[in-house]
Structure 1
Amino acid sequence: MSKQIEPIVTNDDGDHQPPIQSVPKRPWKSYIWDTFDKSPEERKFLFKLDAGMLTFTCLGYFIRFLDQANLNNAFVSGMKEDLNMLGNQYNYAQTLWTVGYIIGEIPSNLVLTKIRPSIWIPTLELIWSVLTICTCRVTSVNQLYALRFFIGLAEAGFFPGVMYMLGSWYGKNELGKRSVIFHVSGALATMFSGYLMTAVIGLGGRLGHRGWQWLFIMDGVISLPVAVSSFFFLPDLPHNTRVFYLNKDDLALAEQRIKSFGRAKREGFSKEKLRKIFSRWHIWVFPLMAVFGGGASGVGQPFFAFYLKQSKNPKYTLAQINNYPTTQAAVMVVAELTYAWIADGPLNGKRWPVMLFAATLSPVFWISLLVWNIPEWWRWFCYITLQQVIALVPLNLIWANEVCSDDNEERALVVAVINTIQYAQSAWLQLLIWKQTDSPRYKKGFPTAIAFSFVVIGIIFLIRHLAKREAEQKKSQRDQIESDSGVVSSSNASEVAVEPGKSG
């Protein structure tokens, strides 16, 4: 190796970073992309890993989110009338998908600690792709309910499973950008679904299918090749991967990297392990961000589309109803990428400052929508821009991945619990405060979102405090061990001191 990978410790926010004496000044190119300041061997390794794992996890999340967005677009494009969906039956269909998702998430992530991700995750992709195609044949609301439940069950393991995989391969200054690139592929799917619905409307009547039915058929045509390809391109975990594009030198480098990041290997679950996990604050506090963050963002709720569909002056066309809301996804993509690059680059891996900024913007938009009697241009700006707060979802998972890095099983379980809790709260919130019959003003939803936004700000400060305290305790323990073993003495202390003028 031409460049030694230094061991990793924690800073005062619980994030992982190299020891002070080994931190060189970062070249400006590394703030654009982190491989620019690495050795040729590590740069080549990361290129292959990104080309394989990151590409196919992004494609997988794209097709998963395409299905979810397609239901929204199908509903406002003829499904509601063809299936005679009344009252809040749209919400019930979404809730049944969420129930399936909640049931499947934690068991699926625990399965990943036993079964290769390259087998389990593509199998889930195949199942939900086939079930999505079957949606084009539904003739009643009850059939739609059943399919949505089983699709949610199949899709449950993908997102938390991939976040667990990414946390197993990438380090502090790498994980944020890649996790967010993965996450925004879902937002791109939301945009694509609107354009796809506009395109397939013209197929209405072909082969006896309506336009919204062609939407689900095309969804399956896109999804199946991605699912099959994932069997060959997903690389499992560093200690057991057998993917074709990583050679022996790559695997040796991967093992060296994960040791330097402080990533723990598999140990398996036991009573003692579970007792340890549930005695730490990680599994109790990180999910709080999911509980209140989901409510603060209104994630998954088609506010804008419903507002456009019910508008009378002016009355928008079907193409406009499908296309205009894609601007929300565009804002989400830009916001998430910007926050991730800032956190990984200038902030050197700290997540909380950008999370606090996103959370602070959120109540401004919700309060404006609650007032309602505002200029139309500002209403549109609020609808489009409020989605920036969804960046809290991947940033919270990244932060949890890093803080829990010293326990593989805890990391897998905490990531799954966070995502499960997020969808659990959305299941009852959309029936209680985001009813389709209450759109577009949502007199319960908007005030709840405002309150949740302020709670989220408090949770960010709480996690930072607990992570900082834990990092200080670990540092104190390390110092005590070194002192007891005589590793550091006054005679060699000067060798590890930071040179004057050098950054720590």
Structure 2
Amino acid sequence: MAEEKKAVDVDAHVTDSGSEEAAAPSSIIKETPQKKWTSYLWDTFDKSPEERRFLFKLDAAILTFASLGYFIKYLDQTNINNAFVSGMKEDLNLYGDQLNYMTTAWTVGYVIGEIPSNILLTRIRPSIWIPACELIWTVLTMCLSRCNTASQIYALRFFVGLAESGFYPGMQYVIGSWYRKDELAKRSCIFHTSSGLGTMFSGYLMAAVYHLEGKGGLRGWQWLFIIDGVISLPVALAGFFVLPDVPEISRVWYLSEQEREFGKKRMELEGREQRKPYTVAKIKKIMTSWHIYLLSLVYICFNNGAAAAPIFAQFLKDSKHPKYSVSQINAYPTGTSAVQVVSTLVYAWVSDAVLNGRRWPPIVFGAIINIICYVSLAVWDIPNGWKWACYYICGCGYGLSGLIMAWGHEICNDDNEERAIVIASMNEMAYVVQAWLPLIVWQQVDAPQYQKGFITVSCLSVVLIISTFAVRFLWKREKLRYVARYRD
């Protein structure tokens, strides 16, 4: 039985091989693969050729679609700001708080859609729902290029956020439905790094697109939204053919029947439950468990402790000695995103390969780096070189999303519907806080010495450490109680 495969130790799965192992050839799927030194480079090297081929197909399909899609989403989130300062403000007479309202409209749509979208994913095929939302997002984004008033943009941004809301938590759910503990963090983190790349690429794209100014009677900022849609369209269409759904209902063309059975067997060995109907008892169990509340708190603290790229630019713009050019002000902060990308991948490899699936040490490390950096910036009267260093190395605190999501999958292993709802709740609640907190602690009048913001991030990082240890303690206690009941 799948429940008998649950992990006993708080940080690593300890399973019982039993008769289930005999259902699949041991040469193909091993309950605990024997580690080779090459597995520290990439986890498929310690697996059989058949399973390695299976994972290669999954990686090529899921990670390519997920990363490209998320890259484009972050490109769009950044491009609304680029469009605003590249002609849209003047063309549409946006001289008030319209940009803030555009961001708020997007956030409201995004927050409203996340949990319902992931609930639908447990009833509808992901290969239909996620690409359909992506296709709607593509059309709406291109429509932004034809807006003539702020009100039109508000309405479209709301629906863009609504269409986008299912992508990140939905793809995290799909990733968590196919990969085992020693594989999960790497895939989740590779997926997340595309957000940093999207942020970095946005400025470069605006510079390139601006050369289209006047072509076809359109302004450069209008071409920006059109090109966002043009990039997204083939990705959305590809999703209908390459997303493998989840193992128990997969019908994708590139997996053989035997490989689909591999997928089911692998999830059985992890104790990851298949889809089941929603019941009153299930909903009550989800809403009364600590999982949804404490994991959401962990993600809120992480997600709202990242603000260095825009405040770094403000610091550079305010600097008098030397005076930085516009291109330098836009280029230098991208180094923080580069640190984010590198640290994200380092955390994933260390967690999966070196720490045997332990998620909490990198989370605590990232929070400590944040505390060091933001406490230093709160003091402000520090050497200029250290100030620069803080703006860069605080990117280490941004790279924890995939790791926390992987932890959420593992903690909610034995209930597919809880796993879908908790993953969506984590991301949604982080955005709920993000919708109002910056308006209080990152006020433009304080630039570049955002002391309230620096102190807030430091406090959130302390809460992140405390809540991380609380999750670890409660998960350990939960597993020990399960073992005691099973033995009795």
Tell me the TM-score normalized by structure 2: 0.91
Q: Deviations over 1:259-318 (max 9, x none)?
A: 11111011111101111112221112111112222222238x732334445555544444
Q: Deviations over 1:82-132 (max 9, x none)?
A: 444445433332122111100000000001011110011011111111222
Q: Establish whether residue 254 from structure 1 lines up as the match of residue 258 from structure 2.
A: no
Q: Establish whether residue 365 from structure 1 lines up as the match of residue 373 from structure 2.
A: yes
Contact kept, 8 Å, 1:91 with 1:435, in 2: the verdict is no
Residue 24 and residue 239 in structure 1: after superposition, are their counterparts in 2 closer, same or farther (change >3 A)?
closer
Which residue identity is paired with 1:186? S
Stretches of structure 2 that go unaligned for 5 or more consecutive residues are 19-30
Which residue identity is paired with 2:7? T
| Structure 2 residue aligned with 1:149 | 158
TM-superposed deviation, 1:20: 9.7
Q: Kindly tell me the number of residue pairs found equivalent between the two proteins.
A: 474
- The 5-angstrom pairing of residues 381-460 of structure 1 reads 381-460=389-468
Instruction: Give the alignment partner of residue 472 of structure 1, picking from 452, 476, 480.
Output: 480
| Structure 2 residue aligned with 1:61 | 70
Q: Partners of 2:155 and 2:330 in 1: how far apart? A: 26
Q: Deviations over 1:163-218 (max 9, x none)?
A: 11111100000111001001111111111112111222222233333333322222
Contact kept, 8 Å, 1:168 with 1:237, in 2: the verdict is yes
Residue 303 and residue 142 in structure 1: after superposition, are their counterparts in 2 closer, same or farther (change >3 A)?
farther
| Structure 1 residue aligned with 2:21 | none
Q: Secondary structure at the match of 2:458?
A: helix
- The 5-angstrom pairing of residues 124-273 of structure 1 reads 124-273=133-282
Which residue identity is paired with 1:338? V
Contact kept, 8 Å, 1:88 with 1:435, in 2: the verdict is no
Q: Establish whether residue 39 from structure 1 lines up as the match of residue 36 from structure 2.
A: no
Which residue identity is paired with 2:167? F
Residue 351 and residue 410 in structure 1: after superposition, are their counterparts in 2 closer, same or farther (change >3 A)?
same
Q: Deviations over 1:337-384 (max 9, x none)?
A: 000100000100000011111111101111222223333333332222
Q: Give the share of equivalent positions with the same residue, in percent.
A: 52
Which residue identity is paired with 1:154? A
Which residue identity is paired with 2:267? I
Contact kept, 8 Å, 1:166 with 1:175, in 2: the verdict is yes
Q: Secondary structure at the match of 1:345?
A: helix
Which residue identity is paired with 2:225? F
Contact kept, 8 Å, 2:114 with 2:166, in 1: the verdict is yes
- The 5-angstrom pairing of residues 475-490 of structure 1 reads 475-480=483-488
TM-superposed deviation, 1:412: 0.6
Q: Secondary structure at the match of 2:261?
A: helix
Residue 314 and residue 204 in structure 1: after superposition, are their counterparts in 2 closer, same or farther (change >3 A)?
farther
Q: Which moved more, 1:324-333 or 1:23-32?
A: 23-32
| Structure 2 residue aligned with 1:488 | none
Q: Which moved more, 1:441-450 or 1:80-89?
A: 80-89
| Structure 1 residue aligned with 2:26 | none
Q: Secondary structure at the match of 1:235?
A: coil
Contact kept, 8 Å, 1:85 with 1:141, in 2: the verdict is yes
Contact kept, 8 Å, 1:118 with 1:235, in 2: the verdict is yes
RMSD: 2.2
TM-superposed deviation, 1:229: 1.0
TM-superposed deviation, 1:473: 1.3
Contact kept, 8 Å, 2:33 with 2:47, in 1: the verdict is no
Which residue identity is paired with 2:52? R
Q: Partners of 2:182 and 2:349 in 1: how far apart? A: 9
Q: Partners of 1:92 and 1:306 in 2: how far apart? A: 21
Contact kept, 8 Å, 2:133 with 2:164, in 1: the verdict is yes
Q: Partners of 1:472 and 1:404 in 2: how far apart? A: 15
Q: Which moved more, 1:81-90 or 1:265-274?
A: 81-90
Q: Partners of 2:36 and 2:374 in 1: how far apart? A: 40
Which residue identity is paired with 1:126? L
Q: Partners of 2:63 and 2:120 in 1: how far apart? A: 21
Instruction: Give the alignment partner of residue 328 of structure 1, picking from 318, 327, 336.
Output: 336
Contact kept, 8 Å, 1:130 with 1:220, in 2: the verdict is yes
Q: Partners of 1:216 and 1:149 in 2: how far apart? A: 16
TM-superposed deviation, 1:17: 4.4
| Structure 1 residue aligned with 2:10 | 13
| Structure 1 residue aligned with 2:305 | 296
Q: Partners of 2:127 and 2:422 in 1: how far apart? A: 21
Q: Deviations over 1:446-488 (max 9, x none)?
A: 22112111111111111111111111112222322xxxxxxxx
Q: Which moved more, 1:53-62 or 1:331-340?
A: 53-62
Q: Which moved more, 1:444-453 or 1:239-248?
A: 444-453
Q: Establish whether residue 378 from structure 1 lines up as the match of residue 369 from structure 2.
A: no
Stretches of structure 1 that go unaligned for 5 or more consecutive residues are 481-504
TM-superposed deviation, 1:44: 0.7
Q: Partners of 2:437 and 2:144 in 1: how far apart? A: 25
Q: Which moved more, 1:440-449 or 1:272-281?
A: 440-449
TM-superposed deviation, 1:81: 4.2
Q: Which moved more, 1:411-420 or 1:439-448?
A: 439-448
TM-superposed deviation, 1:395: 1.5
Q: Secondary structure at the match of 1:123?
A: helix
Q: Secondary structure at the match of 1:133?
A: helix
Q: Partners of 1:201 and 1:430 in 2: how far apart? A: 30
Q: Which moved more, 1:440-449 or 1:408-417?
A: 440-449
Q: Partners of 1:143 and 1:444 in 2: how far apart? A: 34
Q: Partners of 2:393 and 2:81 in 1: how far apart? A: 19
Residue 109 and residue 432 in structure 1: after superposition, are their counterparts in 2 closer, same or farther (change >3 A)?
same
Which residue identity is paired with 2:174? M
| Structure 1 residue aligned with 2:38 | 29
Q: Deviations over 1:409-434 (max 9, x none)?
A: 11011111111101000001122222
